[in-house]
Structure 1
Amino acid sequence: MSAVNRFIQRRALPGVLPTLAGVQHPVLQRLYISRGITDMRELERGAAALLPFNSLKGIDAAVELLVQALSLQQ
């Protein structure tokens, strides 16, 4: 079995960290800010935050594939 070389890349943070309203824990604050999260709405996981289905690339082909699979009971 071969070893895989992996490394952790630190992201530079500004000297004064902005705060995200609604995030209480300082570790989560730091994590979100380092990943470029600027608004808590970016973390929304509900259906309202999803992209409109008709804006998805290849949606027509995906629907056709699903219809075919359902008709063949796969």
Structure 2
Amino acid sequence: MAEKKSGAFDIRVVIAALIGIYGLILTVLGLVGKQAEIDKAAGININLYGGIGMLVFAALFVLWARLRPIAVPVEE
């Protein structure tokens, strides 16, 4: 029986895209944030660190989906 890779319909790619979008938004907010917002979080730029973490997580999800694709059996 032949197999076909799921490609863009893999749920890991969709999850990575959503987390990546949120991570990008948080990273931008962390870069342009005001010092008053940073002071509220005990001097830690949580938006920047959280956004970078989400971008790394999304990249790992995409890497996982590319290295170990889901093979869907194709009936003839």
TM-score by length of 2: 0.22
TM-score by length of 1: 0.22
**Higher strand residue share:** 2
Higher relative contact order (CA 8 A, sep 6+): 2
Larger radius of gyration: 1
